[in-house]
Amino acid sequence: MSRITGIYFDGFYARPHPITVHLHPDGWTLEFADGSTKLQVRGDIRLDDRLAHLKRLACFSDGTSFESPPHAEIDAWQSARPTARLNAVVHFLESYDRIAAVATVLVVLFAAAFVHYGLPRLAHSVARSIPADMDRTLGEVSLRSVNTVLSAHSGLGRAEQSHVRDQLQRILRGDETMPDLHFRFIGNIANAFALPGYNIVVTDALVEQLDDDELAAVLAHEVTHLESRHAEQSILHSSSTLLLVAAITGDLSTLTGFAASLPVVLLQKGYSRDLERAADAGAALRLRDAGIPTAAFARALEKLDANVPAEARAYSYLNTHPETSERVEALQFSTEPADVP
């Protein structure tokens, strides 16, 4: 039988009582300073696992407790527990600073990798699983928000709006669904952005500044956002908690609350650079399929970059995208179709 010393707490007062504990196979005998004793059977003892050099705490079923240094005798008495081997491994790992430091670095690296690579992939997967009815609801919520933020109606006539739809039709494939175009006038701010439910918002200034091929190129970029559900991915990625709950439980009902803020976010910050680059690549493929030079997209970017006024830059099309020079350079490596006059 082993004997150790420590501090006893009676569960009523914070005052500690020094005691001696006798450890035997069936339990512990607590010996107090006045010579009295108390038996605690094994089943009534809840002993915390040993962690490095921290003190050990034993809690008894009657609400009292015992605290002591990490005595080896307690480890030997506890070794009969089913989890003793695992506890010993944990104690070993936490007893060495180098192991703890390496483990901390690994945890940080894993967390960073999950945020950088895991969350986008998870957002992509969950976005693809959103039912069509819910996606339309997200689009309706987003459009109501657009009408609040961009309250001015378009100054484009029906013929001009129809002509824009013709350019959109040029870059669609086969019987692909025709997105709904929503025209808005916000002064000389040229912008376009895709929203859930297959909606694209286009400003008058964007239409006025671009020729047909250039406009088709910008619309090809936005259609790629729609096709890949980049707006939905952005909503999910904006809240890790929402994303994880949706991925684990399949509950997507809270998405609509985030959809209302999407137009403001897209106007001010746009999609992530990775999503924008993916949309550029998708636009290049659509342009090649339609027989439109990808140089038209490069021209559109450069033209919009040159025409944007300083006071409108915060909400311009290019403010919400990667650097123009970077995008133009990437487009130059795209395989061009035969030049179209």
pLDDT for residue 306 = 77
pLDDT value, residue 285: 93
What does pLDDT average to over the chain?
77
- Neighbouring residues of 159: CB distance < 8 A, sequence distance ≥ 6: none
Residue 273 pLDDT more than 50? yes
Where b means 16+ CB within 10 Å and e means fewer, 197-215 reads: bbbbbbbbbbbebbeebbb
Specify the higher pLDDT residue, 26 or 320.
Answer: 26
Helix (H, G, I), strand (E, B) or coil at 192: strand
Band of residue 80 on the pLDDT scale cut at 50, 70, 90: low
Which pLDDT value is given to residue 337? 40
- pLDDT for res 234: 78
Closest of 136, 249, 155, 247 to residue 207, by C-alpha: 155
Q: What does the pLDDT look like over 214-263, one tens digit per residue? A: 999 999 999 999 999 988 887 776 665 555 555 555 555 555 655 666 66
| pLDDT tens per residue across span 109-157 | 765 655 556 666 766 667 776 778 888 888 888 888 888 777 678 999 9
Flag the least confident range among 118-122, 178-182, 265-269, 287-291.
265-269
Asked whether 212 and 180 are in contact (CB, 8 A), the reply is no
| pLDDT, greater one: 338 or 137 | 137
- pLDDT > 50? residue 340: no
The pLDDT score that the predictor gives to residue 214 is 96
DSSP 3-state of 131: coil
Return the minimum-mean-pLDDT range out of 184-193, 281-290, 299-308. 299-308
